[in-house]
Copies of this chain bind each other. A is one copy, B any other.
Amino acid sequence: MGEKSAQKRKYILDKARAVFSEKGFKSVTMKDIVDACEISRGGLYLYFSNTEELFLAVRLRDDMDDSEDETMSAIPGDASAGDMLALFIKEQKKEILRKKNNLTVATYEYYSLHRADGGENPLKDEFDTAVRIVERLISNGVESGEFYCENPRGCARNLMYVVEGLKITSMTIGITEEAIDRELMYVLEGLVPDELNN
């Protein structure tokens, strides 16, 4: 009803994602979207009133079919903590390297515009959730003897800040896959019991 055609809505979001990936958030105009979708100006406004609405919908839609969750839930129940952490990190790496449909810059632009220091912030939720996941994996690994770590939360946070650093570096300075591997490895090595580390 209010949503017109759900299919077209998805179509628009798909095209919009590509545009946001290409131009970030601020530079994107409704005309950019219209052109990308090859629909009429009025047609777009039937679905979204401005780029902000569009962007948030793109990010939401993203969550739905996000490969991360799928991947994580597709893990066999008997996977080791190390395997799972490796998988998690592999996903992060994929995201960092992603060329197409990469929302990193647009997201940073959007939230630097709408920073809500005190209040709710989806970005903060995402970050905190990721930290918790990693912390749990590390803790599990410590219990099973796979990892050695006196401060799992600290280590998890360190990992996620490095990931953030790598993301922004990738979008501004540029970074090679090797450099990403090296950085993530550096963090993980701190988890390996000393006797194994040598």
Contacts and interface: CB of A to CB of B under 8 A. Distances in A.
Per assembly, the copies of the chain total: 4
Interface string A154-190: 1101101111111111011110000000110011001
- What secondary structure prevails in chain A residues at the interface with B? helix
Interface string A109-149: 10111011110010110010000000000000000000000
A114 to B, nearest CB: 9
B187 A158 contact: yes
A106 to B, nearest CB: 9
Contacts of A108: 105, 108, 168, 171-172
Contact of A157 (B105, B154, B183): B183
Most chain B Cβ neighbours within 10 Å, of A107, A124, A160, A174: A174
